[in-house]
């Protein structure tokens, strides 16, 4: 499944109706004023208008701050010291890499701004669902719920402390805005919900979406996208039974399969059989941040991220994934993102196998397959001999190698209570500051510790 970034004037006109107040506005991102040229009701009072507005949410979701690359790359920059090095000149990314983020960091602010724009668009779609053709209402609602949940998941992981199982997670997350911003002044004075409340909303949205969405949905999210995202969410909160079952549902669909050659997973112009959901960057629109910063100039990038010997030392000499690197000028780079207009894999079926393997191993179960079978599906695809038995450490090690540079590293460190250099997993330096512009405009927003 892939999402193509599309350039449509009508799409942007409709989006502007409900999304004024974004990056170029002096207003709070949570106080979005409709354009004066066309009323919000006009855009959302008919089937076509609502559906095109939903496409606008996909388009914003595919921008560089979100699934266009930054939310993936920054999660790895946060945790990569020792295995790779940020050598670029952009200060915003260097602050993330060095864990010395300022409250006006542009990349952090863009994540906040764009995620809430997607959320507001989805809220508007959900609010106007009654004007959608009856046969399409479940699908449209399910898509909006999935995109809204995805944004809230990225936000709460970035701006809130790690979820702790077995306790009431009263630590601050992000504001849950569930009604549309229709008029200036709506949602002006909001507070931050707790991490517990955020996860509850995310799971509720995705569970509902999974029942509403079809199995096939062209380039848009389907029921298995929602389940795959649920697997991630449950894993992050250490709910292994539900994470296992959600991953198993995706695998059991038989709609996705591992590519036989791991190199074929990346740099493709179209979605592969392995992609549960992916974003395609066209030659006329879109910005692939992963290509921009991981690739060298020869492949359309800047070569801002250099891979260190410590990372390469993790690979078995027979591991085919060790070939996904290249040397340029004596410096090593990953080749996962060498196609300037290649699709970005947001969720791969390989991740589902690894989630199911880990959860079955932790629970002593074999739902769908044994931990060894799921581990070996990934391990042998990399050209390595099958293992007769595996430990939890084996599975986590395999996960680190398989999903490197795909946005999971810092989140794994947090849920596994690990370390980033000398920083403990719950160090305040490992969560983002609430953008200072938001703090200045809303006295009810509490800043994170240390900022």
Give the pLDDT confidence of 38-50 residue by residue, as tens digits: 345 557 999 999 9
Question: Is residue 430 a part of any domain in this protein?
Answer: yes
Question: Is residue 223 a part of any domain in this protein?
Answer: yes
Distance of alpha carbon 405 from the chain centroid: 13
Give the pLDDT confidence of 57-101 residue by residue, as tens digits: 999 999 999 999 999 999 999 998 799 999 999 999 999 999 999
Question: Is residue 113 a part of any domain in this protein?
Answer: yes
**Which structural domain, as residue segments, surrounds residue 36?**
2-241+261-271+423-441
How many domains does the chain divide into?
Answer: 1
pLDDT at position 414 over 50? yes
Which ranges constitute the DSSP H helices of 283-330? 289-294, 309-312
Give the pLDDT mean for 397-406: 98
Question: Is residue 179 a part of any domain in this protein?
Answer: yes
For residue 208, give the CATH number of its domain: 1.25.40.390
pLDDT at position 257 over 60? yes
Question: Is residue 150 a part of any domain in this protein?
Answer: yes
Of residues 290 and 34, which shows the higher confidence score? 290
Question: Is residue 323 a part of any domain in this protein?
Answer: no
- pLDDT at position 285, please? 63
pLDDT at position 28 over 80? no
pLDDT grade, residue 11 (50/70/90)? very low
Question: Is residue 53 a part of any domain in this protein?
Answer: yes
Question: Is residue 341 a part of any domain in this protein?
Answer: no
Of residues 152 and 219, which shows the higher confidence score? 152
Kindly give the pairing relationship between strand 423-424 and strand 419-420.
antiparallel
- Quickly list DSSP for 196-258: HHHHHHHHHHHHHHHHHS-S--TTS--HHHHHHHHHHHHHHTT-HHHHHHHHHHHHHT-S---
């Amino acid at each position: 499944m892939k999402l193509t970034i599309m350039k449509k004037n009508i799409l942007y006109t409709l989006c502007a109706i409900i999304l004024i107040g974004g990056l170029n506005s002096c207003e709070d991102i949570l106080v979005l004023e409709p354009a004066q040229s066309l009323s919000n009701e006009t855009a959302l009072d008919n089937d076509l208008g609502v559906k095109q507005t939903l496409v606008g949410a996909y388009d914003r979701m595919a921008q560089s701050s979100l699934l266009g690359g930054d939310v993936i790359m920054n999660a790895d920059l946060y945790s990569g010291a020792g295995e790779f090095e940020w050598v670029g000149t952009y200060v915003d990314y260097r602050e993330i890499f060095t864990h010395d983020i300022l409250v006006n960091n542009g990349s952090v602010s863009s994540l906040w701004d764009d995620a809430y724009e997607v959320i507001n668009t989805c809220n508007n779609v959900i609010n106007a669902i009654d004007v959608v053709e009856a046969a399409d209402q479940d699908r449209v609602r399910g898509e909006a719920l999935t995109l809204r949940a995805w944004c809230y998941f990225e936000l709460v992981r970035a701006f809130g402390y790690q979820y702790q199982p077995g306790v009431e997670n009263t630590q601050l997350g992000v504001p849950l805005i569930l009604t549309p911003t229709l008029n200036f002044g709506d949602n002006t004075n909001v507070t931050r919900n707790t991490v517990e409340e955020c996860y509850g909303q995310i799971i509720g949205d995705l569970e509902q979406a999974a029942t509403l969405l079809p199995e096939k949905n062209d380039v848009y999210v389907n029921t298995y996208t929602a389940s795959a995202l649920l697997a991630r969410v449950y894993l992050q909160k250490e709910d292994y039974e539900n994470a296992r079952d959600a991953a198993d549902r995706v695998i059991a669909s038989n709609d996705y399969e591992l590519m036989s050659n791991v190199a074929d997973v990346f740099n493709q112009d179209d979605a592969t059989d392995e992609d549960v959901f992916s974003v395609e960057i066209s030659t006329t629109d879109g910005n692939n941040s992963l290509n921009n910063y991981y690739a060298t100039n020869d492949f359309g990038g800047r070569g801002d991220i250099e891979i260190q010997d410590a990372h390469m030392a993790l690979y078995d000499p027979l591991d085919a994934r060790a070939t996904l690197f290249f040397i340029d000028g004596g410096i090593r780079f990953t080749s996962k993102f060498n196609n300037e207009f290649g699709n970005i894999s947001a969720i791969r079926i390989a991740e589902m196998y690894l989630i199911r393997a880990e959860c079955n191993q932790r629970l002593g179960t074999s739902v769908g397959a044994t931990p060894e079978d799921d581990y070996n599906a990934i391990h042998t695809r990399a050209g390595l001999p099958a293992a007769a038995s595996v430990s939890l450490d084996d599975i986590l090690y395999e996960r680190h190698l398989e999903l490197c540079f795909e946005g999971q590293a810092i989140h794994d460190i947090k849920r596994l209570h690990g370390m980033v250099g000398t920083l403990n997993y719950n160090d305040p330096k490992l969560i983002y500051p609430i953008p200072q512009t938001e703090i200045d405009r809303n006295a009810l927003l509490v800043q994170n510790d240390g900022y």
